[in-house]
């Protein structure tokens, strides 16, 4: 849902900024690299110390680079396999830093081994969810399902909850519970999404193999028919 509606909205909003960067001679790859570095810095410098509000502010400033670089590439007419590969790869790096930051906090100052494990599960399941679609498409399947929780949903749920939970440091009582709740939601949603994609790939694989088998049978019958007529 976020990919369908929010991405289109922010693309329109960020188009003038993307055009400005192009005029300044900035390349889409540079934006991708700077954006990823900023997200990693915000996540790994602030989250392990429990500074969720300021960490989320920094991450949010850089996370929109994912939309800006693609917008720039389209304006320049330079969309390429390399750009798509770089963008997708660094997205995984940024996601790992965010959930790794949560895990480091709960392994240290947060002192909660269960939530540390949940954070690690969110990190790993997010990577696997992305891999299942990429791998399915690489073997020629459409993988015609997005699933319950994609990357956009994982980031929005986690970052909004982390930012609000960070207000606890400013004296807002009880609000720090939002981050644990969000991590459990992301973990459950990622698991459901993973199952949805695996089931879809299994079904599409079986259908593709059935079509190939039918095509081979038709080809064999046609060959035998030609031999019979000769």
For residue 157, how many C-alpha atoms fall within 13 Å in the half-sphere facing its CB?
A: 21
Q: Give the closest residue to 26 by CA, choosing from 37, 34, 36.
A: 34
Q: Is 216 exposed, middle or buried (0-12, 13-18, 19+ CB in 10 A)?
A: exposed
Whether residue 130 contacts residue 147, with contact meaning beta carbons closer than 8 Å, is answered with no
Active site residues: 91
Residues 6+ apart with CB under 8 A from 153: 1, 2, 189
């Amino acid at each position: 849902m976020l990919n369908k509606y929010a991405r289109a909205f922010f693309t329109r909003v960020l188009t003038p900024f993307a055009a400005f960067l192009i005029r300044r001679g900035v390349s889409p790859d540079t934006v991708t690299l700077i954006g990823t570095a900023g997200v990693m810095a915000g996540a790994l410098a602030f989250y392990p110390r429990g500074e969720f509000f300021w960490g989320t502010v920094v991450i949010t400033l850089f996370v929109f680079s994912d939309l800006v670089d693609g917008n720039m590439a389209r304006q320049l007419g330079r969309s390429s396999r390399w750009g798509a590969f770089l963008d997708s790869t660094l997205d995984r790096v940024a996601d790992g830093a965010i959930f790794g930051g949560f895990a480091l906090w709960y392994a240290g100052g947060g002192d909660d081994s269960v939530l540390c494990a949940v954070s690690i599960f969110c990190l790993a399941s997010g990577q696997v969810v992305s891999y299942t679609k990429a791998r399915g498409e690489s073997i020629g399947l459409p993988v015609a399902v997005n699933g319950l929780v994609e990357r956009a949903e994982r980031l929005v749920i986690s970052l909004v909850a982390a930012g609000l939970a960070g207000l606890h440091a400013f004296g807002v009582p009880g609000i720090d519970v939002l981050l644990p709740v969000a991590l459990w939601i992301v973990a459950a949603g990622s698991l459901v999404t993973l199952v949805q994609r695996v089931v879809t790939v299994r079904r599409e694989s079986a259908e593709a193999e059935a079509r190939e088998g039918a095509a081979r049978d038709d080809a064999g019958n046609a060959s035998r028919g030609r031999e019979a007529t000769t």
